[in-house]
Amino acid sequence: MAPSAPRTRDAAALCMKQIALDNQGRTIRRLRAQLATERRGLATTKKELEDTQVALEASHKVIAGLTEIGLSMSKKIEKMKVKKQQVKANHVECHQKFQARIHEAEDSMQAQHLIIEALVEKKDSLLQTIQGLQEANNVPGPFDDEWEEEPEEQPEEEEIEDILLGEGEIDDE
Three-state SS sequence of the chain: CCCHHHHHHHHHHHHHHHHHHHHHHHHHHHHHHHHHHHHHHHHHHHHHHHHHHHHHHHHHHHHHHHHHHHHHHHHHHHHHHHHHHHHHHHHHHHHHHHHHHHHHHHHHHHHHHHHHHHHHHHHHHHHHHHHHHHHHHCCCCCCCCCCCCCCCCCCCCCCCCCCCCCCCCCCCC
Asked whether residue 121 is assigned to any structural domain, the reply reads no
- Which residues form the domain of 93? 10-104
Task: Inform me whether the pLDDT recorded for 158 exceeds 90.
Answer: no
Question: Is 60 inside any structural domain?
Answer: yes
* Candidate ranges 53-62, 128-137, 142-151; pick with highest mean pLDDT: 53-62
pTM of the full predicted structure? 0.41
Query: Is 30 among the domain residues?
Result: yes
Is residue 75 a part of any domain in this protein?
A: yes
Domain count, the chain: 1
> Residue 53's pLDDT is what?
95
pLDDT at site 139? 75
Query: Domain for residue 140, yes or no?
Result: no
